[in-house]
Amino acid sequence: MPNTDQEDRFLQEGGITVTKTRFVAGAQIYALSGITSVRGVEIEPSRAGPITVVGSGLCLLGLAYAAETNIVVFLIVFLITAAIAGFWWVKQKPSFAVVCTTAGGEVTALTSGDKLFVSRVIEAITQAIIARG
C-alpha cells in the first residue's frame, strides 16, 4: 500500500484507499492523474437460474400432459419449482460498480453489493481529482 500522509487520504475503508495521487482497490493501483472521470453503475443480477427452473418445470408439465399421465402430481411439482424460482428471483439483489474513464477506455475498478460504500468511493475519487487540480 502506498505510503501517504493521513491528510492526503480521502477514503480508507474495506480494502480501498483514495489519496490525492492514487486509487487503490485491493491489489490494483490506479494513478489519479490517469483517471479523467468516475461514475457508478448498477448491475442487475442474472435471471437465468430462476427462468431455467420455471422452464424445466413447464417442460415437465408439458411432457406429462402429452403422455396423458396423472397430471396432478406434475402440476404440484411445477408449482413447487415455480415457488422456488420466484423466491430465488426476489432474493437476487443488484450489485454496484465504480467505473473509471482513462485514456485507455473504461475500467470497472470495484464491484460491491453495498451501494453506499460504492457512493463513498466515487465521492472520494471525485474529491481527489478536484484536489489535484
Q: First vs last Cα of the chain: how many Å apart?
A: 24
Q: Indicate the pTM of the whole model.
A: 0.74
The CATH number of domain 6-44+93-132 is 2.30.29.30: yes
Rounded-to-integer distance, Cα 119 and Cα 100, Å: 13
The residue assigned the cell 417442460 is: 59
In this prediction, residue 47 carries a pLDDT of 94
Q: How far is CA 84 from the centre of its chain?
A: 23
> For the chain, what percent of residues have pLDDT higher than 70?
95
Give the pLDDT confidence of 107-122 residue by residue, as tens digits: 999 999 999 999 999 9
Task: Compare 38 and 76 and report the one with higher pLDDT.
Answer: 38
Give the pLDDT confidence of 36-61 residue by residue, as tens digits: 999 999 999 999 999 999 998 888 88
Q: List the chain domain ranges.
A: 6-44+93-132, 48-91
